[in-house]
A and B are shown apart, each in its own frame.
Chain A
Amino acid sequence: MMRTRYRIGVMFSTTGSYSVVARSMLNGAMLAFREVNDSADAISLEPVVVNPSGDLASYRSLSLELLGSDIRHVVGCYTSSSRKEVIPCFEKFDGLLWYPSHYEGFESSDNVIYTGAAPNQHVLPLVDYLASRVGSSAFCVGSNYIWAWENNRIFREALTARGGTVTAERYLSVGDTEVDQVVAAIIDQRPDFVFNNLIGTSAYAFFRAFRATCRARGIDQAAQIPVASCTLSEPELPEIGADAVDGHLSSSVYFSSLNSPENAAFSRAYAEAFPDGPVSSADAEASYVAVKLLAAALAQAGTDDARKVRAAVADQRLLAPQGEVRIDRQTFHAWLTPRIGRSAANGQFEVLLESREPIAPDPYLVQSSPRFASAMRSPLLKVVQS
């Protein structure tokens, strides 16, 4: 049988401040490419891999380069700022970006298929968990860009609606590792927990410094001021280091510790394919899912025309490592299964809670936010350190 071969762009910043997660995403995508090409499917895929190194201008120029070479589909981007940077390119060339990461929502481009979690699948379940089981006062930290700004806003509104308070918000530039002032402010405020939206090296430095400072002051950080994130994943735990790796909460649709035949097969294949790491993560799984869905949609559409593939992907269902995943026909976001995990010393997450079934994506929080923005007072402190 003659197989139709499609060239697919793969764009992850495998160098730069958030490269650890991006390399696991690349691995997840490459594993799926391998499986598709090893299968008896009517199509085969040729990945064309580029690395923007975390530089926004490079994301744009590399997207144009890929789309200009007759590539219609690109799996890529981790940060929302990079995704927003390249969307105009995909709209201009009528290509499809397969975006495989959780993000802050309030977007629904016709030229993007979103396989990562929407805010109702990560931050809202986390607020539920924290408000009901941990406490009511939060200190928010984040990297100074759209992800942390918006995720903190959603978090703040949801927590306030449940009677909680945000005592402060602090932001660091992406890649900034001078976290001592933030740590001192948290110790001073003594919130019930910290909501963390720092990414990459900033997050790792923060986890280390916060744990060390708490330890020096006789505070059991994990028990007394736990840190909760929507970003923290397995490949990042070794980057934090053994001294501060355990006891961190994470809201995610996938943990590599999930107990299912699909995840066992995925984890085994991933480990065999990439023995040097980084280990798999939620975003690696979302990248794997994105390529699998892309392949299925290409096979059904019989062409790589973006509109036809987009129409075809809405019919796809995949028994993914996290459970069933399907694409919502209206928003082109994925139905996913929210979970809350806690990091352990062995570099894995213990799953504390999970949804019984996949839940519908709600990128604009139409079904899960009040009609009016809550009229809360401003946080006591809001500092941007750039």
Chain B
Amino acid sequence: MSSRLLQNFKGGRAIVVTRHGGCEGALETTLAKLGVSTEYPEIVDGRAQIDVAGLQPDRDILFVDADLEGVVAIEVDPASRLPPAPVIGLVGVEAPSRLKALVNLGATSFLRKPVHGGAVYTSLFMGINQFLLRAEMYERLQDLEERRRGRRAVIRAVILLMRQNGLDEDGAYSLLRRESMRARQSMEIYCEEFMSKWAKPDTSGRTTGITLRGGNKQAI
């Protein structure tokens, strides 16, 4: 798998969740050099006022001060463990509980406080690209999971063709594979539809509907 790396952050928006106290150090000025604007959401009753629904993962980056317990209320996808936008932790107190909170928010990178200008590019590069990589891996995982579920239909279709067409296992599999490619579908989806059609035959009666190539036989 080869991911494309994001290396130019121009047009990005950093949402920095911290209490202004100088701990953010050179963060804003360095982000500006990288073409990233900075916003500091208000913190009301211990909660940062962030429009979570409006977060755009290809534009926004959340910097979360780990010393502010529970300051960010974002939903991490339960399956992918991905936050709605890349999260970079601002680490002050290096305690397991604080770091665990960052992990639970889906943070993919961190910066020590006070922030040193020379560390910002690396942290941004790692944070955003790890987020993209994780999202891409999750998509692949989902795809594989779908295909795993569909294998049952493939097995059933192979057995059906073996029984009805007198093919051996390899022949049945090859036929299904060829036809799925012709239909521009994955094996699994093609077989699911194939079995579904077989289970609900049209008026012409139960037929596998596959024309066997290399002969004139119509499978029945």
Hey, which bits of chain A sit against chain B, CB under 8 A? 87, 106-110, 330-331, 363-367, 369-373, 375
Contacts and interface: CB of A to CB of B under 8 A. Distances in A.
A227 B74 CA distance: 55
B30 A371 contact: no
B34 A364 contact: yes
A330 B31 CA distance: 11
- Describe B's contact surface by its main secondary structure: loop
A91 B2 CA distance: 38
Given A110-B26, A330-B33, A366-B34, A371 B10 contact: yes
Contact of A109 (B9, B34, B118): B118
Contact of B5 (A106, A331, A367, A372): A372
B117 interface: yes
A110 B9 CA distance: 20
B2 A372 contact: no
Interface in B117-144: 117-118, 121
A373 B7 contact: yes
Contacts of B30: 108
B33 A373 contact: no
Contact of B117 (A110, A330, A363): A110
A266 to B, nearest CB: 31
Tell me which of A110, A371, A375 has the highest count of chain B C-beta atoms within 10 A of its own C-beta: A371
Contacts of B33: 108, 330-331, 363-364, 366
Interface residues of B, number: 18
Interface string B5-41: 1111110000000000000001001101111000000
Contacts of B32: 330
A87 B10 CA distance: 26
A108 B34 CA distance: 10
Given A369-B7, A372-B6, 14 more contacts: A87-B118, A108-B30, A108-B33, A109-B117, A330-B29, A330-B33, A363-B33, A366-B8, A366-B33, A369-B8, A372-B4, A373-B4, A373-B6, A375-B4
Contacts of B118: 87, 107, 109
29 contacts: A87-B118, A106-B121, A108-B30, A108-B117, A109-B117, A109-B118, A110-B26, A110-B117, A330-B32, A330-B33, A363-B33, A364-B33, A364-B34, A365-B8, A366-B9, A366-B34, A366-B35, A367-B35, A369-B7, A369-B8, A370-B8, A371-B6, A371-B10, A372-B7, A372-B8, A373-B4, A373-B6, A375-B2, A375-B4
B4 A364 contact: no
A365 B35 CA distance: 10
Contacts of A87: 118
Nearest to A84: B118
Contacts of A366: 8-10, 33-35
Q: Which of B4, B26, B29, B33 has its CB near the most chain A CB atoms (within 10 A)?
A: B33
Interface in B78-122: 117-118, 121
Residue in A106, A108, A110, A363 with the greatest tally of chain B CB atoms within 10 Å: A108
Give the top 10 A-B pairs by smallest Cβ distance, nearest first: A366-B35, A373-B5, A372-B4, A366-B10, A373-B7, A371-B8, A369-B8, A108-B33, A375-B4, A331-B33
Contacts of A108: 30, 33, 117
A209 to B, nearest CB: 35
B29 to A, nearest CB: 8
Contacts of A373: 4-7
Contacts of B4: 372-373, 375
Interface string B36-54: 0000000000000000000
